[in-house]
Amino acid sequence: MTTDRTDRELTIRTELQVNGRKVELNDFVQSFIGQTVIGMVQSLRDVEDVQRIHLEISKSSEQTVPDA
């Protein structure tokens, strides 16, 4: 049995903003970042059928003190 992927081919749209400014990504980079993040998220417990992910990453120079 042969499976034709063309009917199931998915497009991954990935957007990146750095410091509020949009960074243009070519198709390869969109796919690379998108598939990498999707793979990591799908491996988490209680995550099923990923359709959309919103991920925000912030760096802070402040040191945080863990709660005791």
Rounded Cα distance between 35 and 12, Å, is 8
Residue 58: per-residue pLDDT:
94
Residue 30 and residue 14 in contact, taking contact as beta carbons nearer than 8 Å: yes
Residue environment code for 43-62, b if the CB has 16+ CB neighbours within 10 A, otherwise e: eeeeeeeeeeeeeeeeeeee
What residues form DSSP beta bridges with 39? none
Rounded Cα distance between 43 and 66, Å, is 27
Residue 61: per-residue pLDDT:
80
pLDDT in tens, 30-63: 999 999 999 999 999 999 999 999 999 999 887 7
pTM for this predicted structure: 0.68
